[in-house]
Structure 1
Amino acid sequence: MKFQGPGAASNSDLYEIAKVKLSFQKNVTPYAIVNFSSLYYSKEQMQLLNPSIAINHFDNNVITSKSDCDLKNLVQSPLKNFSKNLIWDQLRCGKRLEIPFWFVKKPPFMHPSGSSYAYLLYRRDIQRHKTPSMKWIRDNLGYFHLKEIHEIQKEQGALGGIYGILAGLNEKSLVDLINREGTILTKDFLLAKISYPKNFDIMEYRFYLRDDLTQFLEKSPYQISRYYRGKRCLYQDGPICWRYNVRHLFQMINFSTVISFGGVVFIFALILWLLFSKIKQDKLEDKRRKMALQVLTHEFRTPVASLLLTMDNINRKISSFDEKTQDDFLRMSAEIYRLQRLTEKSKHYLQGAANKGLVNFQFEKVESVEDLVYDVTIPVSERYEQDITVTIDNKVESFSLDVYWFQIILKNLVENAFVHGQSPVSLNLWREKNNLFVKISDGGKTEMSFEELTEEFSKGNKSSGSGLGLSIVNKVVKEWGGVMIFKNNPTSFTLRLPNKE
């Protein structure tokens, strides 16, 4: 038993095929039953079925040529048995007029030239314009090679009987017969081997007409053909290939198509429902966030305005304060102005919500980027009571950027270095062509990846914030059209921001 590829027979198919085979043998009468063990009683005679030992084209020189007759020793020693080859050479060379009665029926049956001795005698009579006796041919059919019987049948007419059937077998069928295959399919017949106990060396086959087989299989879902290497079968039974017939395949395809189509429609509908549900949920979430931002923006504006008014009143009396109080007041003023800018940015975002981007930028040309950097780094450094080394390349002059978002980026990255990193903390600023590069680094290291660090609400052990700082920075840089590069040992973030002129 051998299964072929993805179309291999299921257990159900194997069971059905076995039922078809059994039903066929019970209900269809064989055309003939041939016992090859009685037709070819010896191993030597059985070789007369083997197509590999017979020539395809007969050479008349085997009969007519006498060129080597003078060279051959055609005298047989009386101490030795007569060999068939010597007897044939004597006959061919005119040294013998008759052949012994046992000449055809005694092994070996094949001449070295690839023809049987029976066929040589047959061709000799034809060559001598002597019509061979049909009785002699029929009496000696068992000593001709089957391929020779096929030629005789073409010349003398149908021989009928078992040998007439066997003469119609092609070479591949003969090879299957020599190999004693269980089932053999020919052009005209199906040969089914009859099983006998192993002790009995009997080779017997039932011959069923191919037309009877085809008619019987029309009622089943299967059809059979001869197996060839590389041919795809549902089930390979020796040299037989079982497959579904066309009618059954159409039935399967129609049923499978309906089921498959229904499944595809269901899956497609399910995907659409999930997609629309997700879109609806995302829209609802966006509305909730926008509403929350509107409320926060509205509520922030009143206390911020009140703080600005109070700050102006206190500012009139600042000269009466001591130096430390004045410094504290200036830092507080900077934070209040920062809250004011944040409130205004939120307002601008809500007004520009129809824009495609996440961030509503307001780019402007800044003459001194250095001042913006110090406006951020000095207050943060004083608040955390840590030092930061700022290095700015002389080539950094005027640059077009969004002041608010640029300071937000610097503030978050510097605070992140102070809180989570280790000294020394440094900031490097330089310009290459039309891009501004900012690098904030510290002496620490982290095992977290860039994706983990920039995830929303990702917080370190030392953090008391919301866990949104680096996430905001990453999103703003992307919306700006820039790139953010992270290294973990030592920790550093390098930004490339394009000039937005």
Structure 2
Amino acid sequence: MRKIFTLMLCFIPHIAFASMPERVKLYWQDLGRTDAIAYYDLRDIQSQYPVALLDPAMIYPQTSAYPLKDLKWLYSYAQQCKGNLPIGPLVTQPLVFSRAMCNGTQLPKSWFTRAGYIHPGGGSYALRYIEKHPKQKVALDAYLHIKEKPLAQPDSLLGRLQRLDHDALNSLLSGSDSLLSGDELWLRDGNIYRIYERTQWQPKLAQYDIFLEAKRPDIFCQLQKGNVCWQEAQGYNYTNWIIAFLLVANLGLLLGWLGYRVWVKRREMQQRMVVLQILTHELRTPIASLGMTVEGFRREFDKLPDEFYDEFRRLCEDSTRLRQLAEASKDYLQSHQDGMKKEHVESINEWLTMLCEELDVPCELSEDRSAMISTYWLATCIDNLVRNAKKYGIPPATVRCWSKDNKLLIAVCDNGKLQAKDWMRINKPFVSERGLGLGLTIVESMVQRMGGKIKLQGPPTQFILEIPCE
């Protein structure tokens, strides 16, 4: 029993606790005890097939090896068999070939080796030469790229090489330890490549808790050798679960952070609203006192000197405006109210004309109509937008009014460059560099409380209020 237990302890670290490279190495050793279906010496492959005739990139134009102007000249010369000879030393051999093709001169086989096998336009010199001298096909077969030769039997070396894809060929050229071609697995042992078919290498993978597949850009590879991606079966699944867990955890953290930020913003706004409510409530007492003082002056109006008449008139107007603002602010600050107080306006055009006269801004009106609106807050919204247009826009500022689908549309316009995408940037409460930055926030809030909406269009800049008429 002690011997069996000792053997088990010796076996477990090599399999259950072995690293991924160790498992692959043990798998190779195990598979190496199986007879392969073919053996190829890497040195024989290199001597029989030069790198240039195996490299898949050699099939395409060699733009990295030759100047583009020389490639254009060679193509033109090959088509017309005339032209000024280039001076560049890189095109010496291509020039010899082009002149031989034009003049019908035969080239010795040694020249194809000396020229480097591959034509600047891609593919071998031999293929182009055979097209003009078909009788040389057999003699120049060794100088053809493997992809240019007729497809050989799949169990031959040439046939296997021709069926390797680009990644597999590049792995072979770099002397990789493993490469995968279809159902055949190539494993290198020293200078010998052993070829195994799927029925040989597939069953043994499960014993080492690994699997393999051809490398692709869209998969994560734990261990890559050549074009083969070796994966740990359980570890790969665990990795997917871990990645999924981390993604869900990160998403949860992100949603939690966003929820927290919304809560913080909402709490900050509630705190500011409380401050504004307290401020408004406390202002009502001095406003009432100021009103009583104004009434006292009004009763003694006849006794005032003539030079104080204008000042007294402004004092009365400002006192009235403060009282209206304090009363109307209750409607804005009490957010749980169902709606806003509205009043019937018989002529929208007449009301808007008087308002535009006070704001000193031209007004463009369409067909007149009546409407149920909150006159104070709608006037406040228009006043705020007109002041912004005069202060930050490009003159002239104008007001346009029309109705559509039982809605009242009022546009405050100027020649500014604002667009709809700028709305989020300019509508930020408490962050403006000029004052509190409450202007557009109040306008948007009050328009929504009136059941309407505000939108920005341009250029030219247009703030459009859409207010229900009933």
Q: TM-score, normalised by structure 1?
A: 0.49
Letter in 1 for 2:439: G
Where in structure 2 are the equivalents of 1:41-190 lying within 5 Å? 172-174=154-156
Give secondary structure in 2 for the equivalent of 1:396.
coil
User: Does the 8 A contact of 2:363 with 2:399 survive in 1?
Assistant: yes
Where in structure 2 are the equivalents of 1:462-477 lying within 5 Å? 465-477=435-447
> Take 1:209 and 1:377, find their aligned partners in 2: how far apart are those partners?
90
Residues 1:312 and 1:221: Cα distance change in structure 2 (over 3 Å):
same
Letter in 2 for 1:21: W
Residues 1:403 and 1:23: Cα distance change in structure 2 (over 3 Å):
same
Unaligned runs of at least 5 residues, structure 2: 1-18, 42-47, 49-152, 165-171, 173-177
User: Does the 8 A contact of 2:385 with 2:463 survive in 1?
Assistant: no
> Take 1:482 and 1:209, find their aligned partners in 2: how far apart are those partners?
72
> Take 2:282 and 2:40, find their aligned partners in 1: how far apart are those partners?
107
> Take 1:498 and 1:345, find their aligned partners in 2: how far apart are those partners?
18
CA deviation after TM superposition for structure 1 residue 312, in Å:
1.7
Residue matched to 2:233 = 249
| Pairing partner for 1:409 from 378, 381, 392 | 381
Confirm whether residue 436 of structure 1 aligns to residue 405 of structure 2. Answer: no
CA deviation after TM superposition for structure 1 residue 398, in Å:
1.9
> Take 2:466 and 2:186, find their aligned partners in 1: how far apart are those partners?
84
State the Cα deviation string for residues 420-473 of structure 1 (Å, max 9, x = none). Answer: 45665443434445233334445x64578454444435768xx6x544323432
| Root-mean-square deviation (Å) | 5.2
Residue matched to 1:363 = 342
Where in structure 2 are the equivalents of 1:342-421 lying within 5 Å? 342-350=325-333, 352-355=334-337, 360-370=339-349, 372-373=351-352, 376-381=355-360, 388-393=361-366, 395-421=367-393
CA deviation after TM superposition for structure 1 residue 396, in Å:
2.0
* Structure with the greater alpha carbon radius of gyration: 1
CA deviation after TM superposition for structure 1 residue 34, in Å:
8.8
CA deviation after TM superposition for structure 1 residue 362, in Å:
1.9
Residues 1:174 and 1:437: Cα distance change in structure 2 (over 3 Å):
same
CA deviation after TM superposition for structure 1 residue 408, in Å:
0.2
User: Does the 8 A contact of 2:447 with 2:453 survive in 1?
Assistant: yes
> Take 2:179 and 2:286, find their aligned partners in 1: how far apart are those partners?
100
Aligned-pair identity in percent equals: 23
Give secondary structure in 2 for the equivalent of 1:172.
coil
Residue matched to 2:208 = 220
Taking CA–CA contacts closer than 8 Å with sequence separation of 6 or more, which of the two structures ends up with the larger relative contact order?
1
| Pairing partner for 2:278 from 281, 295, 312 | 295
> Take 1:35 and 1:466, find their aligned partners in 2: how far apart are those partners?
82
Residue matched to 1:315 = 298
Residue matched to 1:21 = 28
> Take 1:413 and 1:207, find their aligned partners in 2: how far apart are those partners?
81
User: Does the 8 A contact of 1:369 with 1:396 survive in 2?
Assistant: yes
Letter in 1 for 2:342: F
Residues 1:220 and 1:365: Cα distance change in structure 2 (over 3 Å):
same
User: Does the 8 A contact of 1:373 with 1:410 survive in 2?
Assistant: no
Residue matched to 1:335 = 318
Residue matched to 2:143 = none
State the Cα deviation string for residues 355-395 of structure 1 (Å, max 9, x = none). Answer: 58xxx5222211243554355444444xxxxxx334444x3
User: Does the 8 A contact of 1:401 with 1:500 survive in 2?
Assistant: yes
Give secondary structure in 2 for the equivalent of 1:437.
strand
> Take 1:233 and 1:452, find their aligned partners in 2: how far apart are those partners?
41
Give secondary structure in 2 for the equivalent of 1:173.
coil
User: Does the 8 A contact of 1:431 with 1:437 survive in 2?
Assistant: yes
Residues 1:486 and 1:459: Cα distance change in structure 2 (over 3 Å):
farther
> Take 1:452 and 1:209, find their aligned partners in 2: how far apart are those partners?
65
Residue matched to 1:427 = 399
Residues 1:16 and 1:296: Cα distance change in structure 2 (over 3 Å):
same
Residue matched to 1:498 = 467
Give secondary structure in 1 for the equivalent of 2:408.
strand
> Take 1:29 and 1:430, find their aligned partners in 2: how far apart are those partners?
90
> Take 2:220 and 2:393, find their aligned partners in 1: how far apart are those partners?
69
